[in-house]
A and B are shown apart, each in its own frame.
Chain A
Amino acid sequence: MADSDLSDNEPTTRTLLRHVLDTEAPRTPRRRQSTRAGVQRALPESPFSMRLRSQTKTTPRRQSHRARSIGRLAPHIQSKGQLKEQTPRTLLENILLTAPESSMVMPESVVKPVPAPQVVQLSSRESSPGSLDLQLPELNPPTAMAPSLLTSGKRKKRLRLSEFQQGMDQGLPLSQEPVMEPPANTGASSLTSSLNLTFATPLLPQSVQRPGLARRPPPRRAVDVDIFLQDLQDTSVATALPGDRTPVATLPTDTVLEDTQPFSQPLIGRSPSVHHSLPHPSLSAERTVSRRTRSSGPGLQNNSPEKPAQLLAGKAEKVDALAMGFPNTSNGTSAEDELKPLLDRDGEEVEEIMEETRPELASSAPDIPQARQLEFLEPAPSTSTAGLSAEPLPARLPTRVRTAGPRLRQDPYKMGLSHYAKLFSFYAKMPMEKKALEMVEKCLDKYFQRLCDDLDVFAAHAGRKTVRLEDLELLMRRQGLVTDRVSLHVLVEQHLPLEYRQLLIPCAFSGNAVFPAQ
């Protein structure tokens, strides 16, 4: 067939390709040697050349095939035997493999970066089906030139700029010495700086464009810091004054004098606790700010329209009420919880009133000592009860100032009962009302009372002061839980977890040991 084609002068594609191949035959001896020497050399060469033509996705099989085909080409071109068996595609590929050697003569600096972007750009095209490969190689060479030129141009431009900058930088220190050339160089430096700036500016808008990423501290922090500093100053002043009765006169006056801002007032009274609450200054300050705004706002609004006489009268009333309230609180009844919020609110208002009616203080002499006592007694119970409370806010004080006894009595007891109430709801397997749960807790309370009484009786009957397991077993027997059929151990095994079972039921272990020992 080849002979027939060659003999024919019809310009078929095949003949053209053959012609090309024949003309390029002399080059093949290079490859021939390389291929003969080692296919491996052809392999790295072929992939590189193939990459130039953006055929990176060629499998090693193909590469080897091509190498082999190239290898075959070499001997077979002359013989022109197996070319006929090859398809036009393979022929084209061979052409592509052989042709680019001419383009490789071009400077490598351009070629090397070229394949990289080309690979990136045209790698996507590689995924196209093989049928397009025939057309792609034709398009690629012309297109490859344009982007290569563009990239090279860009590179050249960048190089030029960088070089220019470098040159200028180098030239700057040299030029700075002679004074004669400052203007030109400053101009150049300004240019470079401007260039630098121009290079830097594109980065900035990106950050500005994304304001969400900018981490700005909340503006209110400044206020808290100020308040905190003021509190520190106040605490330093207050702690300097010992908690004696004698400097009581100075305390309120100092507090009054320092009450320049409505926000810092109540904190002075709780200065010792503030001192302790250093770890949470911002939080407390914030909350104080929020609380004070709420309380001081209406308080001030209420007070401002009133006349001073009315204010004084109101203050006297409040003071009396508070004085009444204090002996109650000193007793430590549960009513203090209700009084405390009133106290705190009144305390704030009293302080505000005092601040506002400074000139009237002299006239309201009897009120001042009471107010002082109020103010003084306020921190006293707070320090005694709250002590190292973290948040010395008056709105929080009612929760903290509760005496330790009643609170512990109620809450853990309720917690324990609720623990059993949950079990009740579990055992019932039916939806329950909350009132029913409360009822269950009451029943449990009664049951506990009875239990303790019974155990007391049994222990006394046995002449002991300690309740033992026998007493409990007797109790359960009397209750009807433990019978002749059902022993205590059975119940223990049924209802208690393993750990408790092991503690309660004596078990024999190795070494002739019994645990728990009887």
Chain B
Amino acid sequence: MAVAATLSQRKRVKRKAPRGFLRRVFKRRKPHLHLGTRCDLLVHLNCLLFIRRLAEESRTDACKNKCGIIKDQHVLAAAKVMLKKSRG
């Protein structure tokens, strides 16, 4: 249909989601569970948002310390905060 037509026109997707990777990771962790057809896309979205927040947090941490470079301690501190936030 229309979707197929659009897909055939542009076959190169920017920022592809590693769907296979995500499925494999989920399968290894939870072999008894099945992942839905489009759930891995949402998982990818989730990861993107998480990383985005993490990056912003670490950036503010680095700017706080007046560092021009993001160091691992900034990332660590930011990750602590983020993982707490995204507990679910």
Residues of chain A having any CB pair with chain B under 8 Å: 409, 412-413, 415-416, 419-420, 423-425, 427-433, 435-436, 438-440, 443-444, 446-452, 454-456, 459, 465-469, 471-473, 475-476, 478-481, 488, 491-492, 495-500, 502-504, 509-510, 513, 515-516
Contacts and interface: CB of A to CB of B under 8 A. Distances in A.
Contacts of B55: 424-425, 427-428
A412 B72 contact: no
Interface residues of B, number: 59
B33 A467 contact: yes
A503 B41 contact: yes
Given A467-B36, A509-B2, A495 B26 contact: no
A436 B46 contact: no
A443 to B, nearest CB: 4
B31 to A, nearest CB: 11
B62 to A, nearest CB: 6
B62 A430 contact: yes
Contacts of A502: 3, 6
Contact of B88 (A413, A427, A432, A479): A479
A452 B1 contact: no
Contacts of B1: 509, 513, 515
A468 B48 contact: no
Nearest to B68: A431
Contact of A412 (B21, B48, B54): B21
A191 B75 CA distance: 91
A354 to B, nearest CB: 45
Interface in B38-64: 38-39, 41-52, 54-56, 58-59, 62
Interface in B1-48: 1-3, 6-7, 13-18, 21-22, 24-26, 28-30, 32-36, 38-39, 41-48
A431 B45 contact: no
A450 B29 CA distance: 10
A433 B71 contact: yes
A345 B24 CA distance: 37
A431 B85 contact: no
A239 to B, nearest CB: 38
A467 B56 contact: no
A46 B19 CA distance: 82
Contacts of A468: 36, 39
A481 B87 CA distance: 12
B18 A416 contact: yes
B51 A450 contact: no
A504 B25 CA distance: 21
Contacts of B50: 447
